[in-house]
Chain A
């Protein structure tokens, strides 16, 4: 949508300049506040409020066309605000990771970063719009394990080629926690195995094809413990039913269950990767199940973006990793990833695609 503005930038700028005038004219002439004075006492305040409303609406309108505002200068990057597409709704886990990094990156670059939430189709819609954006460094994507490594196997007709997006830097990761209702008579994976021999166990997840679900499938096939999958629409309802004791187990990225574990309302049996916030909880591997997964987040850019811009961005992102805002994520159960060579990150992504692709096929979670 935004890319279509680029061809018509001068025109968009002109609209930007005249829009308020039109609106004010409409407000002043269109509103007959001065014609008939039935309610004179509230007239002034009321008109002020109405104008304020229009001003607010204008603010909205302007927020929607940020790209048309500043002229581009090819020599100096970044010469205008950068758009970071978050392919999930505001307030979700991906958004929570995006905002502190965007804040820190913006301070480091001295240029505004505008977060654009484009949810839908498991992140595919936002990722597709980033993949198709012009490769000038002004449109970035907050890529996730789902968007980059799972969706290509999950959706037969993906609206984007994951190879059209190249990692600038992988930033953060969270282990998936295997949590149980406190009434479940098993304190660890071995206890779970014994319990499963006598009763059928059900695990809730945030939905088909989510990292929690696929980690559950990987755990099930690696451990051989029979478990029934109960999908929910997002993390919150699954956690809710687990807290209410309607389910025995859930697989969910650590940050959404951590407060409940700390409050003693849920117990953590194992985590899919080392979790510094839960020092006493074994990883799957330590518990004898040969599986390791994380839900991760990183900044991606269209593959054709000039190397100089990649270099600038990753240098500033390295600083952003050390910022207080980003550090705060650690208390939520999110691990900040160390800076790595480009080649190492690409190797990691190749391995991820294979691992999750297999999990998708094994689970039968294909969307078609």
Chain B
């Protein structure tokens, strides 16, 4: 069995005290920066790059990778406890995780997130070990036409994310698309909606937008109603998921893992796209979609499994082809090059111990994470008991440090505050920010790929229907539209609206 021998090579490389130690250090750091809002793996890995000079390459890469997927674990903690997406991929975890915390079920939400992530991480590690090369080949089949169709599917699904009024949801998606237009147009190089401000010429950063709309807005709301918050902090409830929770959560975890493993391979979206689509899928499949947004455990389990699986499989394009699929992977390229390893198709053959060692280390990392996180749940939940007047300045401070650390830009800190005020307005108007964020992520990618596909096809729009993967995705989009227009589904949506 080739798989066994590969895993054997990896195990042999990883099972040293030094490598296990760096793995633990990596996931510990990752958890911590994940928990701190805004401080992301990009800034941390960039800062630690010089430190890794003196390490053997495998130890360095194991630690840096651990920071990345450790941050996905930690990010959900802040999302659940204080409605702040610690990482961009935990934005959807805010929706139901925070609602669960308000009901005194924060411990359950954290437990499900940790266990679901561990399961997803284990499966994703096996997926990478067994099928990295063929999966990378599959990802190459995704040209601009396929990406466009995938984004279209995602955008239609975005409306499903909305809790209440479907028209408000569409309005928010459109607003997200408009915000996504800000910056330099890739096709022509022209600047759009930048008002001559150089800081806007690369567009608005996702962290800035999500931190403002979710985090800062939540702080303002909480300060407005100080008495309301004390009520839910008084109740903590059980710390671990019960039998009923497990019954509800195991299928979403499985589905989330599958979705995350697939979407993680595709460049650009990775963990963010996979958690959004897992949430959408769970809401679609649920018997009673109206529970979503009000503390449905499926809405935590699915996306959490998906983002962890996606974070892990996003290593596939990097390891197999040397192509970074997101900024963190770009940093990993840098880290490899610093150690004289040129990332690319030859790494697997030339340095098998490094390649398989890194993959096997991910499973150990996930094990450490779950061992680290389960006992910590008690502490995190107790954080909710810290008086809010003490907690919120700390949260605000970390938000500012986190945003500043992305580009060393004070402008972006100001922009975050602006979106915080905007997010507060949205709450007052009962508009959900989640569809806006999805429009913001998908819109620019959709436009870019539409224009590129047309350019490559020399202006022939049939390209979207003649390519099989693209056609399949378009058919799926059409089906989803039909389902949304279906009377029963509409009734369910109206019901949900009335409850609001």
The reply to whether chain A is a binding partner of chain B is yes
Is B201 touching A120 in the complex (CB atoms < 8 A)?
Answer: yes
Is B343 touching A103 in the complex (CB atoms < 8 A)?
Answer: no
Bound: A116/B236 CA distance, A: 43
Contact of B378 among A42, A99, A202, A241 (CB under 8 A): A42
Q: At the interface, yes or no: B126 with Cβ under 8 Å from chain A?
A: no
Q: At the interface, yes or no: A10 with Cβ under 8 Å from chain B?
A: no
Interface locus among A163-171, A172-180, A224-232, A313-321: A224-232
- With a cutoff of 8 Å between Cβ atoms, the chain B residues found around residue A102 in the complex are 50
- With a cutoff of 8 Å between Cβ atoms, the chain A residues found around residue B36 in the complex are 53, 56-57
Is B190 touching A63 in the complex (CB atoms < 8 A)?
Answer: no
- With a cutoff of 8 Å between Cβ atoms, the chain A residues found around residue B379 in the complex are 33, 39, 42-43, 46-47, 49-50
- With a cutoff of 8 Å between Cβ atoms, the chain A residues found around residue B407 in the complex are 89, 117-120, 125
Residue of A nearest to B458 (CB): A200
- With a cutoff of 8 Å between Cβ atoms, the chain B residues found around residue A312 in the complex are none
8 Å CB contacts to A: which residues of B188-215?
188-191, 196, 198-199, 201-202
Is A32 touching B385 in the complex (CB atoms < 8 A)?
Answer: yes
Is A92 touching B375 in the complex (CB atoms < 8 A)?
Answer: no
Is A258 touching B33 in the complex (CB atoms < 8 A)?
Answer: no
Bound: A202/B454 CA distance, A: 12
Q: At the interface, yes or no: B14 with Cβ under 8 Å from chain A?
A: no
Q: At the interface, yes or no: A351 with Cβ under 8 Å from chain B?
A: no
Bound: A99/B331 CA distance, A: 12
Is A332 touching B342 in the complex (CB atoms < 8 A)?
Answer: yes
Interface locus among A187-195, A243-251, A294-302: A243-251
- With a cutoff of 8 Å between Cβ atoms, the chain B residues found around residue A6 in the complex are none
Contact of B42 among A33, A90, A230, A244 (CB under 8 A): A90
Contact of A367 among B35, B39, B47, B191 (CB under 8 A): B191
Interface locus among A71-79, A132-140, A260-268, A282-290: A260-268
A-side interface residues, number (CB < 8 Å) = 80
- With a cutoff of 8 Å between Cβ atoms, the chain B residues found around residue A38 in the complex are 236, 378, 382
Bound: A297/B33 CA distance, A: 33
A84 to chain B, nearest CB (A): 12
Interface locus among B135-143, B297-305, B479-487: B135-143
Is A243 touching B338 in the complex (CB atoms < 8 A)?
Answer: no
Bound: A240/B452 CA distance, A: 14
Q: At the interface, yes or no: A304 with Cβ under 8 Å from chain B?
A: no
A184 to chain B, nearest CB (A): 14
- With a cutoff of 8 Å between Cβ atoms, the chain A residues found around residue B410 in the complex are 1
Q: At the interface, yes or no: A64 with Cβ under 8 Å from chain B?
A: yes
Bound: A244/B323 CA distance, A: 12
Interface locus among B91-99, B223-231, B398-406: B398-406
Q: At the interface, yes or no: A70 with Cβ under 8 Å from chain B?
A: no
Is B345 touching A259 in the complex (CB atoms < 8 A)?
Answer: yes
Bound: A53/B324 CA distance, A: 29
B414 to chain A, nearest CB (A): 12
Determine chain B's interface SS by DSSP, over half rule: helix
Residue of B nearest to A261 (CB): B344
Residue of B nearest to A367 (CB): B189
Q: Using A42-B378, A56-B29, A91-B334 as known contacts, say yes or no to A99 and B50 having CB atoms under 8 A apart.
A: yes
Bound: A32/B493 CA distance, A: 43
8 Å CB contacts to B: which residues of A178-230?
200, 202, 207-209, 228, 230
Is A331 touching B342 in the complex (CB atoms < 8 A)?
Answer: yes
Q: At the interface, yes or no: B134 with Cβ under 8 Å from chain A?
A: no
Q: At the interface, yes or no: A128 with Cβ under 8 Å from chain B?
A: yes
Residue of A nearest to B322 (CB): A259
Q: At the interface, yes or no: B456 with Cβ under 8 Å from chain A?
A: yes
Q: Using A96-B337, A259-B346 as known contacts, say yes or no to A60 and B405 having CB atoms under 8 A apart.
A: yes
Residue of A nearest to B268 (CB): A237
- With a cutoff of 8 Å between Cβ atoms, the chain A residues found around residue B386 in the complex are 30-32
Q: At the interface, yes or no: A159 with Cβ under 8 Å from chain B?
A: yes
Q: At the interface, yes or no: B3 with Cβ under 8 Å from chain A?
A: no
Q: At the interface, yes or no: A61 with Cβ under 8 Å from chain B?
A: yes
- With a cutoff of 8 Å between Cβ atoms, the chain A residues found around residue B159 in the complex are none
Contact of A236 among B330, B337, B390 (CB under 8 A): B330
- A–B complex contacts, Cβ < 8 Å, 12 sampled: A46-B379, A56-B29, A57-B39, A90-B49, A96-B334, A117-B46, A120-B201, A208-B189, A233-B186, A241-B143, A243-B321, A244-B141
Extra A-B contacts (12), CB below 8 Å, given A26-B394, A96-B338, A259-B346: A1-B410, A52-B28, A63-B47, A120-B199, A120-B202, A120-B409, A121-B201, A208-B186, A236-B323, A246-B143, A262-B346, A263-B344
Question: Which residues of B does A touch, CB under 8 Å?
Answer: 28-29, 32-33, 35-36, 39, 42-43, 45-47, 49-50, 53, 139-144, 184, 186-191, 196, 198-199, 201-202, 236, 239, 267-268, 317, 321-325, 327, 330-335, 337-338, 340, 342-346, 375-376, 378-379, 382-383, 385-387, 390-391, 394, 398, 401, 404-405, 407-410, 448, 452, 455-456, 458
- Counting from the closest, the 6 A-B pairs by CB-CB distance are A259-B344, A208-B189, A46-B379, A39-B378, A91-B334, A244-B140
